[in-house]
A and B are shown apart, each in its own frame.
Chain A
């Protein structure tokens, strides 16, 4: 579960990125976070992965209190989250299999379990027959699916996708969203930060809209708003 209670984030003592944000996302939800550039979406993701600490308020993620988290405990919070980035962030000189396997190794998973789990996850994202390819031998959509497999392989409670379709064409974007929906149906909470209006409207999930560091709309089965809503 993710919960933000009256969260403020101020950079350099002057720039307010988040302005008293409160959100609660239950286990198993599929949520879109939308908003223009500079609205505070990236800050929100950084708070959830403990890259940042809130200036004020509480950030609770899967039982961890980010506001109080000690440096040495951060890895254990991150093991409960899978992050997918717009630019994929795959390791160029590792094969698809190795890109996925190494994150399991990074959390100390024994090799025999890695050998079973990685093919399963690659099959889930439709890349089982490309496990020996290097990232540059794959299309953008395939690379993003490797990134999703990597985010998924440690069986996290939450997947956070930061503009996952930003580098994909429309048809690949739809495929990717379908994949995320499939993962969500298997029980993983999915949080997608995006600009893709059509995709958001098409899936009819919960949509949280942020602007200038404040939540301006939070509707289940909602849609991407054109204009900010006056409260």
Chain B
């Protein structure tokens, strides 16, 4: 009996050939499966990349532990300068620099570059306020520090990257939640599609499967070509999604974000090498899960 139990030799060439033949045989269904899996992966990936970019943006902002403190317009220059001691007395303040509104205006014009001349007329009627640039010792104590600064009489408003960062974190939380929901939902859709395609393929070959069982083929041997078929469909879906993502991401970064000038996103060139194994791997996993789920039912002969 043990002699008969010699392991089925890995007939890889046969499995691949049978898997590919089956894909061709059900061309339309295979095409539909690849398209749907590709679309699902594309949507998941797009959300993932948005979340990734927000993450990077937050990291960039969090490194800047500076608060802009705007002085009430009712205060005279002398009164404004006098506030420095009060601000410096707050324990978490590392450094406090006074920036007169003229200097702030110049800095603003410099930031505008070629378009600065538009604002030049406003120099006499400068809309900006005198301000302090406050650097914190510990960014974790941001909220307490801002509260302490706001309590000082003569302080009009504060603004910091941390506040923007907090807002971005809120957005990221939403994007993450949507991403997880999409992974679950669209992942299930993809597995269902693969499962149906394999079901069709197995049904077409049910006589063959029965004969294979009758002559002593192991479940593993019967299963292998169908797993190859599922894996191939998933892999093709992954490739399709990656190529489509290239187009979609380029459109988002170049046409939407770059032209708005609000913030920058990581370029596709830095992303695709990391995405390649992820997308193909996701496709393969979906293919294996979808096919093995279906085969299990058919093998009870």
Q: Are A78 and B211 in contact (CB under 8 A)?
A: no
With contact pairs A75-B216, A79-B215 given, residues A91 and B208 touching in the complex (Cβ less than 8 Å): yes
A106–B222 Cα gap in the complex (Å)?
8
Q: Are A107 and B14 in contact (CB under 8 A)?
A: no
Q: Are B1 and A63 in contact (CB under 8 A)?
A: yes
A108–B207 Cα gap in the complex (Å)?
20
With contact pairs A76-B1, A89-B207, A91-B208 given, residues A108 and B215 touching in the complex (Cβ less than 8 Å): no
Judge whether A194 is part of the interface by a CB distance below 8 angstroms.
no
Q: Which of B3-11, B123-131, B249-257 binds A?
A: B3-11
Total A-B contacts with CB atoms under 8 angstroms apart? 63
State the majority secondary structure of interface residues on B: helix
A102–B17 Cα gap in the complex (Å)?
13
Residues of B within 8 A of A107 (CB): 8, 215-217, 221
A81–B216 Cα gap in the complex (Å)?
9
Residues of B within 8 A of A110 (CB): 9
Q: Are B216 and A105 in contact (CB under 8 A)?
A: no
Closest Cβ of chain B to A19, distance in Å, is: 27
Q: Are A108 and B8 in contact (CB under 8 A)?
A: yes
Q: Are B1 and A105 in contact (CB under 8 A)?
A: no
With contact pairs A75-B216, A75-B218 given, residues A103 and B211 touching in the complex (Cβ less than 8 Å): yes
Residues of A within 8 A of B11 (CB): 105, 108
**103-137 of chain A: CB within 8 A of chain B:** 103, 105-110
Q: Which listed residue (B7, B9, B216) contacts A79, Cβ 8 A?
A: B216
A15–B222 Cα gap in the complex (Å)?
34
State the majority secondary structure of interface residues on A: mixed
A49–B216 Cα gap in the complex (Å)?
10
Judge whether B212 is part of the interface by a CB distance below 8 angstroms.
yes
With contact pairs A76-B216, A108-B7, A108-B8 given, residues A89 and B211 touching in the complex (Cβ less than 8 Å): yes
Residues of A within 8 A of B213 (CB): 75, 78
Judge whether A53 is part of the interface by a CB distance below 8 angstroms.
no
Max count, chain A CB within 10 A of own CB: residue among B8, B9, B215 = B215
Residues of A within 8 A of B1 (CB): 63-64, 76
Judge whether B214 is part of the interface by a CB distance below 8 angstroms.
yes
A79–B4 Cα gap in the complex (Å)?
8
Q: Are B5 and A108 in contact (CB under 8 A)?
A: no
Closest Cβ of chain B to A1, distance in Å, is: 13
Judge whether A154 is part of the interface by a CB distance below 8 angstroms.
yes
Residues of B within 8 A of A91 (CB): 207-208, 211
Q: Are A75 and B9 in contact (CB under 8 A)?
A: no
A150–B214 Cα gap in the complex (Å)?
11
Judge whether A66 is part of the interface by a CB distance below 8 angstroms.
no
A63–B5 Cα gap in the complex (Å)?
13
A80–B214 Cα gap in the complex (Å)?
11
Q: Are A106 and B6 in contact (CB under 8 A)?
A: no
**60-116 of chain A: CB within 8 A of chain B:** 63-64, 72, 75-83, 89, 91, 102-103, 105-110
A202–B74 Cα gap in the complex (Å)?
125
With contact pairs A91-B211, A103-B211, A154-B215 given, residues A76 and B5 touching in the complex (Cβ less than 8 Å): yes
With contact pairs A103-B211, A106-B212 given, residues A76 and B217 touching in the complex (Cβ less than 8 Å): no
Residues of A within 8 A of B207 (CB): 89, 91
Interface flags, A132-172, vs B, CB<8A=1, else 0: 00000000000000000010001000000000000000000
**1-26 of chain B: CB within 8 A of chain A:** 1, 4-9, 11, 14
With contact pairs A64-B1, A108-B9 given, residues A78 and B208 touching in the complex (Cβ less than 8 Å): no
Max count, chain B CB within 10 A of own CB: residue among A64, A72, A106, A107 = A106
A49–B215 Cα gap in the complex (Å)?
10
Closest Cβ of chain A to B5, distance in Å, is: 6
Residues of A within 8 A of B210 (CB): 89
Residues of B within 8 A of A49 (CB): 214
A76–B221 Cα gap in the complex (Å)?
13
Residues of B within 8 A of A103 (CB): 211-212, 215, 217
Residues of A within 8 A of B214 (CB): 49, 78, 83
A82–B1 Cα gap in the complex (Å)?
17
Interface flags, B198-215, vs A, CB<8A=1, else 0: 000000000110111111
B218, closest chain A residue (CB) = A75
Max count, chain A CB within 10 A of own CB: residue among B1, B208, B211, B221 = B211
Residues of B within 8 A of A105 (CB): 11, 14
With contact pairs A63-B1, A103-B211, A108-B221 given, residues A154 and B216 touching in the complex (Cβ less than 8 Å): yes
Residues of B within 8 A of A102 (CB): 212
With contact pairs A63-B1, A76-B4, A91-B207 given, residues A150 and B215 touching in the complex (Cβ less than 8 Å): yes
7 A-B residue pairs with CB within 8 Å: A75-B218, A91-B208, A103-B212, A105-B11, A108-B8, A109-B9, A110-B9
Q: A77-B216, A78-B216, A106-B216 are in contact. List 4 more A-B contacts (CB 8 A).
A: A63-B1, A82-B215, A105-B11, A106-B222
